[in-house]
Amino acid sequence: MQPIAQSYLRSTDGSGLIKDEEALIDSLKPISGLVSNFNKRISEASETDQNHTIKRLKKDLPPGWTTSTDTDIDNRKLQIVGLNFSTNHLSPGTTSQQPDIKMIQCDSRIEPDNIDPTKSKIFQCQANCLELKLEASFGCYILDASFSPTGKNLLISGCDSLTDHSLVIWRQGADGNWSDNNRSRVGGSQNISFQLNRSENTLLSVSRDGNVKVSTLNSDGRWSESVVLAHTPHEAGYEPVMASFSPLQDKIMSFDPHTGKINVLREDGNSRWTLLNQLREIRQIGLTPLKFKATNNYLLTYNGTKATIWGCNDQSNCLENKFDMDCNELIEGCQMSNDERHALIFSHEGNQVFFLARDVNGNWSQVGEIRHSEQTANYRSVSMPNHIYTASFNGSGQYALTRDLAKKSIISGYDDNGAWVEKIEIPSCDYACFSASGRKVLASLGSGSFKIWDCNSTDNSLDKVQTLEHIGSDKAIFSPSENLLLSYGDQTNYACIWGDDEDGNLVEKARVCHQGGIDVAYFNVQEDSVLSVSRDCTVKIQWLDRDDEWRGQLMVQHQKNIDFAKFSSSERLAFTVSRDSTACILGRDDDGKWTKQATITIPDGYSIWGVHFNVLDNHFLIYGNKFNGKDHHKPGLVQLCGIGDDGKWVEKELITLDHRIKRAKFSPDGDHLMIHCENKLESVVPKGGTALLWKIPASPSA
């Protein structure tokens, strides 16, 4: 809250009184000082000005507020002695309950933490059910605001000026209050990326000045800087410095794309991070922008025609050269399998892929190679020499998938003799990928034709292939268990559910029919429901009935295009949001039937940017900004719905803000709401960024 300008308090004419009235209404922080000055000023005004002022003040006070006054016109002693306000905010549509009235005496002050949210500087609340926990502001902009995985830390990276960039961490204490326990600054407009480890006691931050910093959490709850690695400051044409924790979280690896230099830090038994020694400097330099991924015990790098595998020796605290391979061709890329037992290297011109494996003694060797054809490829209507541009392992590392510019994919893996060989060649393939588990390969052959191979057989064979034909579809996805598939596309008016029959053949189980093309479709986690979104402005949920047949169906019809439709994270609920300014919450009844539980009206003039359920599925969030970018009156909107005392969904809060909203999200535990605003985006240089953190009241279903 800003203090009232002193020029207002010194003015004694009628216009000055009007300014004082507005100041009294618009600010509650220095309330006793305002009232005292107002009473002094009004005693010096004329009788007419006194009466007009009191009338205007009573008229313009917020709903539920009234003034208590002593009036003695003969002695010219008209003054405010108190302000009454309501603290019982009714749910929308409720009128029967009598609000409680409380008195704020004029000789008391409202402390900043107790300011009524309706009077805050940048936002307006409808119901005031949320508790404002902190307001973090930056003078220039906020780059990122996010919760830690546990929700106990809030990390905000922003810039107060073009020469002052900060990363600030707030931590929630046992009493539920939040405190600033770290503030890291860098010179210049330096974007800071950051990560917390899973225990949330180590902070890794990377700034564009090239510095990689590791900070640890002390016993007093403060962060202390333990390691700083200096790299090349970011320059145009290069990716910024990258750094991340290893999957096991006991190492940190950094990569400088400008120099190709790699460093590895290891956490010892005393929770200290030390730099591993390198008998030979490690560099990775390639033809294209390099992707870097931190690993646990082995590191695969390449430089020109040579690839090297390095091992992390914790006893000697150094990186050792484990294997070198010269490919005689410029290397296009390389990859280590997730279990770090296999590696692949593919060349730029030779169209070869070399496969390496590690034995039980930790020794690496080449186990095979495959070659793609050198035919000319027609890539984006341009004729050019063919070459491999992507290669990947499946989850187990037992199979690999390579793809070239000529739209040919090859599945390779071990044969019965332990050699790595080509298994399946897939010509004229639009795309091919492993399933999430890596047990299957899905390939799209175009024109609604798909093929599926099972990589989980015990005899290293890929002989059995399943075919899926759905004319007009261009997408096919696996269910979470990968026992079902779903095909759809914008050139077909139905989504198709596929599964195995009793003989292991892929057959059509059900169709979800619409009047237009299908934009998107999903399985829920339980695999007993499918949600589909169509260009005919409908959302449908198809589900298995009690006879295990896909016969149940719910349809939601909107009047305009649908922007969002999805299951909640628990998949017990779903939502739809349309450009017709309505949103729907969908859920299941006791019989497992999907029904519409609530319809929410979104205020006119706002475009919705994001929609979320919290993890508890008892609050629902909608946020967005005004269509008209020139309309600066409360351009940002947040709607919060929750489950009421009767178990039904009601609007809990409607927040409008003076600034546009970049993001709004729930904390991981679902108890807090964070709103990230950007102020004055129309400026060449953004002027201001604000993050608001709210505590959400307990819900009856929590």
**Distance between CA atoms of 514 and 530, rounded to whole angstroms?**
14
Across the range 384-407, mean pLDDT stands at 90
Residues 6+ apart with CB under 8 A from 237: none
Lowest mean pLDDT among 282-291, 345-354, 503-512, 609-618: 282-291
**Half-sphere exposure in the Cβ direction for 83 (13 Å, CA):** 24
User: Strand, helix or coil at 35?
Assistant: helix
Q: DSSP string covering 461-480, please?
A: ----EEEEE-TT--EEEE-T
Highest mean pLDDT among 114-128, 164-178, 289-303, 436-450: 436-450
Confidence of residue 529 (pLDDT cuts 50, 70, 90): very high
Domain range summary for the chain, segments of one domain joined by +: 6-110, 191-326, 333-469
pLDDT value at residue 6: 32
Across the range 47-71, mean pLDDT stands at 57
pLDDT value at residue 329: 87
pLDDT digits (tens, 9 = 90+) for 615-642: 999 999 999 999 987 888 899 999 999 9
**Distance between CA atoms of 371 and 376, rounded to whole angstroms?**
15
Does residue 72 register a pLDDT over 80? no
β-strands 318-326, 277-278 pairing: parallel
For 241-317, strand residue ranges (E) read: 242-245, 251-256, 261-267, 273-275, 277-278, 298-303, 306-313
Across the range 470-493, mean pLDDT stands at 96
Residues paired with residue 289 on neighbouring β-strands, in sequence order: none
pLDDT value at residue 97: 37
- Alpha carbon 288 to chain centroid, angstroms: 28
Write the DSSP symbol of residue 516. S
Does residue 436 register a pLDDT over 50? yes
User: Strand, helix or coil at 50?
Assistant: helix
Across the range 159-169, mean pLDDT stands at 83
HEC-encoded secondary structure of 110-126: CCHHHCCHHHCCCEEEC
Across the range 105-124, mean pLDDT stands at 46
Residues 6+ apart with CB under 8 A from 55: none
pLDDT value at residue 218: 87
**Both tokens assigned to 647:** 């178990």
- Higher per-residue confidence, 41 vs 199: 199
- Higher per-residue confidence, 60 vs 442: 442
**Distance between CA atoms of 597 and 595, rounded to whole angstroms?**
6
HEC-encoded secondary structure of 627-665: CCCCCCCCCEEEEEEEECCCCCEEEEEEEEECCEEEEEE
pLDDT value at residue 462: 82
pLDDT value at residue 22: 54
**Distance between CA atoms of 317 and 266, rounded to whole angstroms?**
8
pLDDT value at residue 35: 54
Whose CA is closest to 207, among 224, 227, 186? 186
For 46-127, strand residue ranges (E) read: 66-70, 79-86, 101-105, 123-125
pLDDT value at residue 112: 34
Which amino acid does the sequence have at 162? L
pLDDT value at residue 449: 96
pLDDT value at residue 222: 85
CB under 8 A, 24+ apart: contacts of 179-187 = 181/221, 181/222, 181/223, 182/215, 182/222, 182/223, 184/213, 184/215, 184/223, 184/225, 186/211, 187/163
Q: What are phi and psi of 27, to 5 degrees?
A: -140, 130
What percentage of residues in the chain have a pLDDT greater than 70?
79
Q: What angle do CA 237, 241, 245 make, to 5 degrees?
A: 150
How confident is the prediction for the chain on average, in pLDDT? 82
pLDDT value at residue 695: 94
User: Strand, helix or coil at 79?
Assistant: strand
pLDDT value at residue 1: 36
Does residue 429 register a pLDDT over 80? yes
Residue with token string 């040919």: 408
pLDDT value at residue 557: 97
Does residue 180 register a pLDDT over 60? yes
Contact at 8 Å (CB) between 161 and 140?
yes
Does residue 335 register a pLDDT over 50? yes
What percentage of residues in the chain have a pLDDT greater than 90?
52
pLDDT digits (tens, 9 = 90+) for 639-683: 999 999 899 999 999 999 999 999 999 999 999 999 999 877 555
Write the DSSP symbol of residue 283. B
**Both tokens assigned to 292:** 């870097």
Give the Cβ contact number of residue 656 at 10 Å: 19
Instruction: Please give the span between the terminal C-alpha atoms of the chain, in angstroms, as a whole number.
Output: 34
**Both tokens assigned to 283:** 């560099």
pLDDT value at residue 279: 79
Please provide the CATH number assigned to the domain covering 191-326. 2.40.128
**Both tokens assigned to 334:** 């390389």
Give Cα separations from 462 to 330, 400, 413, 441, 456 (angstroms).
Answer: 32, 13, 10, 10, 9
pLDDT value at residue 21: 53
Residues paired with residue 41 on neighbouring β-strands, in sequence order: none
pLDDT value at residue 403: 93
Q: Which CATH number fits domain 333-469: 2.40.30.10, 3.20.20.150, 2.130.10.10, 3.40.50.1100?
A: 2.130.10.10
- Higher per-residue confidence, 331 vs 12: 331
Give Cα separations from 127 to 87, 118, 619 (angstroms).
Answer: 10, 9, 15
Does residue 421 register a pLDDT over 80? yes
pLDDT value at residue 470: 97
Lowest mean pLDDT among 125-129, 423-427, 521-525, 603-607: 125-129
